């Protein structure tokens, strides 16, 4: 008589993984709504029969995933879902967010003609010191500050943009609809940074808060650079998303043509 070999022993996941999984499922399913106060560490310890160190490890992982956030002296709360913009299509911020049902409002902080700094002139293919229009706007998503947008345009296009309702309209749409300039493509460079005092004030965050920094150079349909921007997004409220295909060939030069970093 033969007997079957014993089944391999199944190892239960670490306790902190089970705590994290239970809380994550509650958040992602909607049972724990945004801004809901989570049970205290002591309550979670009692609920799961875990040590405080184990509970803190689970909470730290969830915080790193952006699913929860802490308020000093008040506890741990469920994060609101981040707004996102796909970068596989050339769209203005309001254009993309409105399509997702968000309301957008812009606060114009500065609009003036300035001599083009060296990096701006290089991006727009102008001589250094050539007059350009510089526009600073705080972008509000559902009435909460989400980004600071700093834009430079050749002076002729800047005059058209300056006449538009910049509190409600994207610069892209003004260029297309008012200036009659068909847009072609844009190149982007994205990195992480810490907010300086001016950026922090515009975004309603503390100085030194993590932000997403984007440098974008937009060209018209003929390949001429017409719009150079630096965009600063709150890292806790927004993300860029993109699709990557395995077999699409692109040279590094075509993807990252900008010189230097922001």
What CATH class has 83-255?
Answer: alpha beta
pTM (two decimals): 0.63
Average pLDDT, the chain: 81
Predicted pLDDT at 28: 78
- Mean pLDDT confidence for 166-174: 89
For 98-141, what is each residue's pLDDT tens digit? 555 555 778 999 999 999 999 999 999 999 999 999 999 998 87
Confidence of residue 88 (pLDDT cuts 50, 70, 90): low
Q: 120 near 216, Cβ under 8 Å?
A: no
Q: What is the reported pLDDT for 95?
A: 56
Across the chain, which distance is largest between two alpha carbons, in Å?
A: 94
Parse the chain into domains and list their residue ranges.
15-78, 83-255
For 110-120, b/e burial (b = at least 16 CB within 10 A) is eeeeeebeebb
Q: In the prediction, which pLDDT does 54 show?
A: 93
Token duo for residue 177: 């609809």
Question: Domain 15-78 class?
Answer: mainly alpha
Q: Are 225 and 125 a contacting pair, CB within 8 Å?
A: yes
pLDDT exceeds cutoff 50 at 158: yes
pLDDT in tens, 212-233: 898 999 999 999 999 999 999 8
Is residue 143 within 8 Å of 112, Cβ to Cβ?
no
The pLDDT of residue 255 is above 50: no
Q: Which tens digit of pLDDT belongs to each residue from 37-46?
A: 999 999 999 9
Q: What is the pLDDT of residue 256?
A: 39
CA 39 to chain centre: 29
* Residue 67 phi, psi dihedral angles, 5° rounding: -85, -20
């Amino acid at each position: 008589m033969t007997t079957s070999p014993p089944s391999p022993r199944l190892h239960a996941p670490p306790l902190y993984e089970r705590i994290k999984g239970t809380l994550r499922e509650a958040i992602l399913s909607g049972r724990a709504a945004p801004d809901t106060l989570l049970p205290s560490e002591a309550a979670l310890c009692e609920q799961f029969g875990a040590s405080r160190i184990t509970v803190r490890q689970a909470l730290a992982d969830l915080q790193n995933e952006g699913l929860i956030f802490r308020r000093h002296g008040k506890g741990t709360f469920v994060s609101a879902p981040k707004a996102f913009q796909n970068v596989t299509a050339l769209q203005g911020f309001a254009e993309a967010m409105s399509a997702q049902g968000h309301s957008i409002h812009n606060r114009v902080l500065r609009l003036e003609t300035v001599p083009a700094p060296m990096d701006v002139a290089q991006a727009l293919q102008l001589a250094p010191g050539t007059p350009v229009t510089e526009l600073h706007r705080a972008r509000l998503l559902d009435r909460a500050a989400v980004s600071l947008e700093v834009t430079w345009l050749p002076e002729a296009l800047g005059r058209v943009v300056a006449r538009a309702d910049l509190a409600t309209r994207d610069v892209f749409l003004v260029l297309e609809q008012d200036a009659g300039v068909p847009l072609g493509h844009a190149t982007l460079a994205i990195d992480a940074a810490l907010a300086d005092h001016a950026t922090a004030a515009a975004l309603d965050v503390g100085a030194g808060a993590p932000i997403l920094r984007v440098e974008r150079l937009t060209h018209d349909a003929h390949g001429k650079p017409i719009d150079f921007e630096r965009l600063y997004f709150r890292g806790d409220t927004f993300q860029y998303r993109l699709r990557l295909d395995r077999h699409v060939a692109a040279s590094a030069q075509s993807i990252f043509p900008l010189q230097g970093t922001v």
